[in-house]
């Protein structure tokens, strides 16, 4: 990391500098605002710079820290939020041109919790329009332009949390919030070479967030390390009366002595992986064996992708029914999005109910398969980030579907994407760790141990 740019540092180091008087929260906010306004804009990663709010929150953090009031490890740390999270006084566009002037009166629950933890909101970050629920097939699917990768601007940043992944990778912010319905945190984390965490469904309140799929949507962090993701999650997690799906937060406790982890592996569900990505994964397995055991298991082969797709189509069409009927999709950027989800309005109820039954069966079967394991592991993506001009159906035409991402989202399971090396064309690949429902702390502990072992 380049110490000349504090935004390229991890949260613990920034916190140490703040408390040692080596830097102020205002200086951190100014650095974040400058990086977002320049590098962030050049990557199409920024929607709105929240400068006045950032400086006000930063100055308040400096006063509180000087007076002895310490709100914890995020106090004075800048961050950005995916533009589907409401922020009072600023547009919340959901990535879509027809909604460019949309505003809400209150902050989303996740924004409130980070403010209470002392974090400083520096900007609202770009995303694929309407979180990708309208079946986009190429990178230019946002009113801010195609999301450019923070490692290589000729490649895609991933979706739908494109701005979150790119802004962390490019050293604009130490962490950002993203959301995932199906791959929208782990995908941009992998493509940009940062760490991203998808929490168990219901662990983080979605109050004030755009709804694509009420039973699949999740909010989580993208950051430098698993430790940083754990720090952010600890501030976000917990019950919220305004979101009845929320649950109690787990305890994140560091063991006094290193623990041994138990990892599961099923090669049958990994898909057709690019050789260089697979080579990085094999090296990751060698590292994981130093942390514990890696055991081959049989993973239940169920129609995860099909069931997840039906649920998104049905719930997305319901969530956007008025928008669709009123012709809102005709103003979307990607031509294919102008007709996406129309079929969802005509989806038979029996198909939706069948998908819910598959999910119930899948949740039981996957939980049984992972019983006794801290996480099942696999490549986070089968290929590196595609060229910015690529059509996804062509780029992935020769790759079989992988199942872990679909299974994890269908069943609401925690998933962690960790950078694990450089693959094709100098681009990063990722290691996926996925745990049982509620096993967030174990997955993050395993990810933290892996990164400490490889020197991240």
- Residues of the chain above pLDDT 70, percent: 97
Q: Assess whether pLDDT exceeds 90 at residue 301.
A: yes
What is the structure's pLDDT at 385? Answer: 98
Q: Is 82 a catalytic residue?
A: yes
Q: Assess whether pLDDT exceeds 90 at residue 396.
A: no
3-state secondary structure labels for all residues of the chain: CCCCCHHHCCHHHHHHHHHCCCCCHHHHHHHHHHHHHHHHHHCCCEEEECHHHHHHHHHHHHHHHHHCCCCCCCCCCEEEEECCECCCCCECCCCCHHHCCCECCCCCHHHHHHHHCCCEEEEEECCCHHHHCCCCCECCCCCCCCCECCCCCCEECCCCCHHHHHHHHCCCCCEEEEEECCCCCHHHHHHHCCEEEECCCCCECCCCECCCCCCCCEEEEEECCHHHHHHHHHHHECCECCECCCCCCCCCCCCCCCCCEEEEECHHHCCCCCHHHHHHHHHHHHHHHHHEEEEECCCCCCCHHHHHHHHHHHHHHHHCHHHHHCCHHHHCCCHHHHCCCCHHHHCCHHHHHHHHHHHHHHHHHHHHHCCCCCEEEEECCCCCCCECCCEHHHHCCCCCCCCHHHHHHHCCCCEEEEEEEECHHHCEEEEEEECCCCCHHHHHHHHHHHHHHHCC
- Please give the model's pTM, rounded to 2 decimal places: 0.97
Q: Is 184 a catalytic residue?
A: yes
Catalytic residue among 160, 164, 167, 429: 160
Catalytic residue among 184, 205, 207, 245: 184
Q: Is 218 a catalytic residue?
A: no
What is the structure's pLDDT at 401? Answer: 65
Least confident of 33-42, 55-64, 240-249: 240-249
What is the structure's pLDDT at 398? Answer: 65
Q: Assess whether pLDDT exceeds 80 at residue 256.
A: no
Architecture of domain 1-301+364-456: Alpha-Beta Complex (3.90)
Catalytic residue among 82, 205, 218, 417: 82
What is the structure's pLDDT at 47? Answer: 98
Q: Assess whether pLDDT exceeds 90 at residue 2.
A: no
Q: Assess whether pLDDT exceeds 50 at residue 1.
A: no
Q: Assess whether pLDDT exceeds 80 at residue 360.
A: yes
Sorted by where each begins, the domain ranges of the chain are: 1-301+364-456, 304-354
């Amino acid at each position: 990391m380049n110490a000349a740019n504090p935004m390229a540092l991890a949260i613990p180091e920034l916190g140490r500098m703040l408390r040692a008087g080596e830097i102020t929260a205002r200086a951190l906010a100014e650095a974040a605002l400058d990086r977002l306004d320049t590098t962030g804009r050049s990557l199409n990663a920024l929607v709105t710079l929240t400068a006045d709010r950032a400086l006000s929150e930063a100055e308040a953090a400096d006063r509180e820290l000087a007076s002895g009031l310490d709100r914890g490890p995020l106090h004075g740390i800048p961050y950005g939020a995916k533009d589907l999270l409401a922020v009072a006084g600023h547009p919340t566009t959901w990535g879509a041109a027809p909604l460019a002037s949309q505003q809400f009166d209150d902050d989303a629950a996740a924004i409130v919790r980070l403010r209470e933890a002392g974090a400083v909101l520096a900007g609202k970050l770009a995303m694929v329009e309407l979180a990708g629920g309208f079946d986009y097939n190429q990178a230019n699917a946002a009113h801010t332009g195609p999301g450019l990768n923070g490692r290589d601007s000729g490649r895609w940043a991933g979706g739908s949390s494109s701005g979150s992944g790119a802004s962390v990778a490019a050293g604009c912010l130490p962490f950002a919030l993203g959301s995932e319905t199906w791959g929208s945190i782990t995908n941009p984390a992998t493509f940009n070479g940062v760490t991203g965490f998808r929490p168990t469904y219901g662990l983080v309140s979605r109050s004030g967030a755009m709804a694509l799929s009420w039973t699949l949507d999740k909010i989580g962090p993208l950051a430098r390390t698993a430790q940083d993701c754990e720090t952010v999650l600890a501030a976000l997690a917990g019950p919220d009366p305004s979101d009845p799906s929320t649950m109690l937060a787990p305890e994140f406790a560091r063991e006094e002595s290193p623990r041994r982890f138990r990892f599961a592996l099923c090669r049958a569900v990994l898909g057709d992986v690019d050789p260089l990505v697979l080579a990085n994964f094999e090296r990751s397995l060698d590292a994981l064996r130093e942390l514990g055991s890696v055991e081959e298991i049989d993973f239940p082969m169920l129609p995860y992708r099909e069931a997840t797709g039906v649920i998104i189509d049905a719930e997305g069409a319901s969530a956007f029914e008025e928008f669709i009927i009123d012709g809102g999709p005709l103003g979307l950027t990607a031509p294919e999005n102008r007709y996406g989800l129309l079929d969802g309005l005509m989806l038979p109820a029996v198909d939706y109910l069948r998908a819910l039954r598959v999910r119930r069966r899948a949740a039981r079967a996957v939980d049984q398969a992972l019983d006794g394991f801290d996480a099942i592991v696999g490549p986070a993506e089968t290929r590196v980030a595609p060229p910015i001009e690529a059509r996804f159906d062509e780029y992935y035409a020769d790759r079989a579907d992988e199942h872990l991402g679909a299974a994890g989202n269908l069943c609401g399971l925690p998933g962690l994407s960790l950078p694990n090396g450089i693959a094709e064309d100098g681009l990063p690949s990722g290691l996926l760790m996925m745990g049982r429902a509620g096993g967030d702390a174990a997955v993050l502990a395993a990810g933290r141990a892996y990164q400490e072992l490889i020197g991240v």
